Protein backbone atom coordinates (compact mmCIF):
# COMPACT_ATOMS: atom_id res chain seq x y z
CA UNK A 1 0.00 0.00 0.00
CA UNK A 2 2.83 2.40 0.84
CA UNK A 3 4.40 1.83 -2.58
CA UNK A 4 1.07 2.59 -4.29
CA UNK A 5 0.67 5.78 -2.24
CA UNK A 6 4.15 6.93 -3.25
CA UNK A 7 3.35 6.19 -6.90
CA UNK A 8 0.13 8.21 -6.69
CA UNK A 9 1.97 11.17 -5.15
CA UNK A 10 4.64 10.99 -7.84
CA UNK A 11 1.95 10.96 -10.54
CA UNK A 12 0.23 13.97 -8.97
CA UNK A 13 3.51 15.87 -8.86
CA UNK A 14 4.15 15.02 -12.52
CA UNK A 15 0.70 16.36 -13.44
CA UNK A 16 1.33 19.53 -11.45
CA UNK A 17 4.60 20.19 -13.27
CA UNK A 18 3.00 19.54 -16.66
CA UNK A 19 -0.03 21.70 -15.88
CA UNK A 20 2.17 24.60 -14.78
CA UNK A 21 4.29 24.18 -17.92
CA UNK A 22 1.25 24.29 -20.23
CA UNK A 23 -0.35 27.19 -18.36
CA UNK A 24 2.86 29.17 -18.65
CA UNK A 25 3.32 28.17 -22.29
CA UNK A 26 -0.09 29.60 -23.23
CA UNK A 27 0.44 32.76 -21.17
CA UNK A 28 3.91 33.23 -22.70
CA UNK A 29 2.47 32.87 -26.22
CA UNK A 30 -0.22 35.44 -25.36
CA UNK A 31 2.34 37.95 -24.12
CA UNK A 32 4.63 37.42 -27.09
CA UNK A 33 1.75 37.70 -29.54
CA UNK A 34 0.73 40.99 -27.92
CA UNK A 35 4.31 42.29 -27.93
CA UNK A 36 5.64 41.05 -31.27
CA UNK A 37 2.81 39.98 -33.59
CA UNK A 38 0.68 43.13 -33.52
CA UNK A 39 1.34 46.51 -35.02
CA UNK A 40 0.59 49.49 -32.80
CA UNK A 41 -2.58 51.18 -34.02
CA UNK A 42 -4.24 53.26 -31.31
CA UNK A 43 -7.55 51.38 -31.61
CA UNK A 44 -6.94 47.77 -30.56
CA UNK A 45 -9.39 46.26 -33.09
CA UNK A 46 -7.64 48.15 -35.92
CA UNK A 47 -4.31 46.50 -35.22
CA UNK A 48 -2.86 44.13 -37.75
CA UNK A 49 -1.38 40.73 -36.99
CA UNK A 50 1.96 39.81 -38.53
CA UNK A 51 1.17 36.45 -40.14
CA UNK A 52 4.63 34.89 -39.78
CA UNK A 53 4.85 35.74 -36.08
CA UNK A 54 1.24 34.62 -35.53
CA UNK A 55 2.04 31.31 -37.20
CA UNK A 56 5.19 30.86 -35.14
CA UNK A 57 3.62 31.66 -31.76
CA UNK A 58 0.43 29.70 -32.36
CA UNK A 59 2.63 26.60 -32.42
CA UNK A 60 3.05 27.05 -28.65
CA UNK A 61 -0.69 27.44 -28.16
CA UNK A 62 -1.23 24.32 -30.27
CA UNK A 63 1.30 22.38 -28.19
CA UNK A 64 -0.36 23.49 -24.94
CA UNK A 65 -3.80 22.53 -26.28
CA UNK A 66 -2.61 19.08 -27.34
CA UNK A 67 -0.91 18.51 -23.99
CA UNK A 68 -4.06 19.46 -22.09
CA UNK A 69 -6.14 17.24 -24.38
CA UNK A 70 -3.82 14.33 -23.60
CA UNK A 71 -4.01 15.11 -19.87
CA UNK A 72 -7.80 14.95 -19.92
CA UNK A 73 -7.57 11.44 -21.34
CA UNK A 74 -4.82 10.22 -19.03
CA UNK A 75 -6.37 11.75 -15.89
CA UNK A 76 -9.54 9.80 -16.57
CA UNK A 77 -7.52 6.62 -17.03
CA UNK A 78 -5.30 7.05 -13.93
CA UNK A 79 -7.42 5.19 -11.39
CA UNK A 80 -7.43 6.76 -7.95
CA UNK A 81 -4.97 9.56 -8.62
CA UNK A 82 -7.57 12.32 -8.41
CA UNK A 83 -10.62 10.46 -7.10
CA UNK A 84 -11.14 13.09 -4.37
CA UNK A 85 -11.05 15.93 -6.94
CA UNK A 86 -13.71 15.03 -9.56
CA UNK A 87 -13.97 18.62 -10.89
CA UNK A 88 -10.30 18.58 -11.84
CA UNK A 89 -10.74 16.87 -15.22
CA UNK A 90 -13.64 19.19 -16.10
CA UNK A 91 -11.45 22.23 -15.42
CA UNK A 92 -8.61 20.88 -17.58
CA UNK A 93 -11.15 20.14 -20.30
CA UNK A 94 -12.55 23.70 -20.13
CA UNK A 95 -9.07 25.23 -20.50
CA UNK A 96 -8.26 22.84 -23.34
CA UNK A 97 -11.52 23.79 -25.08
CA UNK A 98 -10.64 27.47 -24.89
CA UNK A 99 -7.25 26.86 -26.52
CA UNK A 100 -8.89 24.55 -29.08
CA UNK A 101 -11.12 27.46 -30.23
CA UNK A 102 -7.97 29.55 -30.84
CA UNK A 103 -6.34 26.68 -32.72
CA UNK A 104 -9.46 26.10 -34.83
CA UNK A 105 -9.49 29.75 -35.89
CA UNK A 106 -5.76 29.51 -36.68
CA UNK A 107 -6.35 26.39 -38.80
CA UNK A 108 -9.08 28.17 -40.75
CA UNK A 109 -7.16 31.43 -41.28
CA UNK A 110 -3.67 30.27 -42.18
CA UNK A 111 -4.50 28.49 -45.47
CA UNK A 112 -6.18 31.71 -46.66
CA UNK A 113 -3.48 34.13 -45.50
CA UNK A 114 -2.05 35.70 -48.65
CA UNK A 115 -0.80 38.95 -47.12
CA UNK A 116 1.94 39.61 -44.59
CA UNK A 117 -0.63 40.98 -42.14
CA UNK A 118 -4.26 40.29 -41.19
CA UNK A 119 -6.59 42.79 -39.55
CA UNK A 120 -7.13 41.66 -35.95
CA UNK A 121 -10.89 42.15 -36.16
CA UNK A 122 -10.91 39.26 -38.70
CA UNK A 123 -9.64 36.96 -35.92
CA UNK A 124 -12.25 37.22 -33.15
CA UNK A 125 -10.81 34.39 -31.03
CA UNK A 126 -7.32 35.84 -31.24
CA UNK A 127 -8.59 39.36 -30.52
CA UNK A 128 -10.33 38.11 -27.37
CA UNK A 129 -7.18 36.21 -26.35
CA UNK A 130 -4.91 39.22 -26.88
CA UNK A 131 -7.12 41.98 -25.54
CA UNK A 132 -6.19 43.89 -22.40
CA UNK A 133 -6.39 41.55 -19.42
CA UNK A 134 -9.03 43.69 -17.73
CA UNK A 135 -11.26 43.22 -20.79
CA UNK A 136 -10.31 39.60 -21.58
CA UNK A 137 -13.40 38.08 -19.98
CA UNK A 138 -13.35 34.83 -21.98
CA UNK A 139 -9.61 34.33 -21.48
CA UNK A 140 -10.03 34.73 -17.73
CA UNK A 141 -13.26 32.72 -17.42
CA UNK A 142 -12.43 29.90 -19.83
CA UNK A 143 -8.68 29.53 -19.39
CA UNK A 144 -7.18 31.34 -16.38
CA UNK A 145 -9.87 30.45 -13.84
CA UNK A 146 -10.13 26.75 -14.81
CA UNK A 147 -6.35 26.43 -14.82
CA UNK A 148 -6.07 28.11 -11.42
CA UNK A 149 -8.76 25.73 -10.11
CA UNK A 150 -6.87 22.74 -11.51
CA UNK A 151 -3.56 23.85 -10.03
CA UNK A 152 -5.17 24.42 -6.63
CA UNK A 153 -6.90 21.00 -6.75
CA UNK A 154 -3.68 19.19 -7.65
CA UNK A 155 -1.80 21.05 -4.93
CA UNK A 156 -4.52 20.03 -2.42
CA UNK A 157 -4.29 16.43 -3.58
CA UNK A 158 -0.50 16.47 -3.13
CA UNK A 159 -0.62 18.15 0.29
CA UNK A 160 -3.69 16.33 1.59
CA UNK A 161 -3.51 13.47 4.07
CA UNK A 162 -5.70 11.20 1.95
CA UNK A 163 -4.57 9.39 -1.19
CA UNK A 164 -8.08 8.29 -2.12
- Residue 156 clears pLDDT 60, i.e. is over it: yes
Per-residue pLDDT band at 164 (split at 50, 70, 90): very low
pLDDT of residue 132: 85
Q: Give the Å distances, CA to CA, from 15 to 42, 89, 112, 120, 163.
A: 41, 12, 37, 35, 15
In the predicted model, what is the mean pLDDT of residues 41-52?
83
In the predicted model, what is the mean pLDDT of residues 109-134?
92
- Residue 55 clears pLDDT 50, i.e. is over it: yes
pLDDT of residue 83: 75
Q: Give the Å distances, CA to CA, from 98 to 9, 13, 125, 141.
A: 29, 24, 9, 9
Amino acid sequence: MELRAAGIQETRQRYLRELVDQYNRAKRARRLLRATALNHELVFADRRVRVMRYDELMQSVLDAQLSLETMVRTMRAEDGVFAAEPELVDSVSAAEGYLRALVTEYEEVMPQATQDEIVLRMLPELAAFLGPYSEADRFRAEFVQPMNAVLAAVERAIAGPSLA
